[in-house]
Every structure is written in structure tokens, then in C-alpha cells.
Amino acid sequence: MNYELITKNMRKIRIIDTEDDMDFLNGLTAYATISHAGMFTAYFLNGVAPHGIQKTLLLHPRVEDLGRASVKAATEIMYREMPREFNGYDLWKRVSSVLERDMYADTVFRRMRELKEEGIINFKCISDSKSKYEKR
């Protein structure tokens, strides 16, 4: 267990050993939040995990810390967690929270637009004045 990783801060990690029946994840890179109980919530981007896994819980895995997650990666992950219709400021709060850092809402909105231009996510602004979005 990497006790220095015990934080809610989202980290980029490489899974070394899951110590359970999820050994097919060993060697993969993920983004994770870590609880004080040693439970990792691992998020996989770009369809990297087998069996279509995008999110899973891992108990006490051995991992290599690859640093903080980027704003762009956290935005993509938290976007996936949002309901079909959502407020952009709620997304911004979630991204700020998992990264444990202050940032302008426009930073998250800019990353959303970049992800949309890259074809990774798709949304429509349904109310600019209220910052309401709808996933497509």
C-alpha cells in the first residue's frame, strides 16, 4: 500500500498488482481517487481497460504514482459521472474537488470544448445564461 497516496486528490497511477481477481488490470494506467481505507476508485480513459471497464473499485492495490491528474482528464471523468442534463458549475465543483485545487470555471469549460472538438465527449448547451448542458 502506498500510504503517501492516501488522499481524495485524483492521481494518475499505474496498477502493479490488484491482489484479487482483477489481475487483468495489472500494468494499466488509470486515474484514481484513494480513500483512507485503502479503497481506490479507478477510472480508465480511451477504452484502455478490457471488458469495457470504465470505472472500478480496487482494495489495497500496489500502484506506481505517476503524478496529479490533469484538468482535462478530471473533466472527462467527472463529465461521465454527471446526469444527462447538468449544470456546468456542478461539473466545475466536482473537478475542483477531485483535484483539490482552485481554478476558474472557464478552465473546466475550455477543457469540455477541447474534449468535444476531439470527439471524446458530446454535449449541447441548452441554456447559456444558466450554464445548463445536455449530453448527446
More confident of the two residues 89 and 19: 89
Three cell numbers, residue 119: 470527439
Residue 9 and residue 64 in one domain:
yes
pLDDT tens-digit readout, 70-127: 999 999 999 999 999 999 999 999 999 999 889 999 999 999 999 999 999 999 999 9
Query: Read out DSSP for 45-77?
Result: -TT-SGGG--EEEEES-EEEEEEEPPHHHHHHH
CATH number for 57: 2.30.30
CATH number for 124: 1.10.10
Give how far Cα 71 sits from Cα of 31, 105, 115, Å: 12, 11, 11
Single pTM value for the model: 0.84
Q: How many structural domains are present in the chain?
A: 2
- In a 3-state reduction of DSSP, which class is residue 115? helix
Exposure string over 71-86, b if 16+ CB within 10 A, otherwise e: bbbbbbbbbeebeeeb
Structural domain for 85, as ranges: 71-135
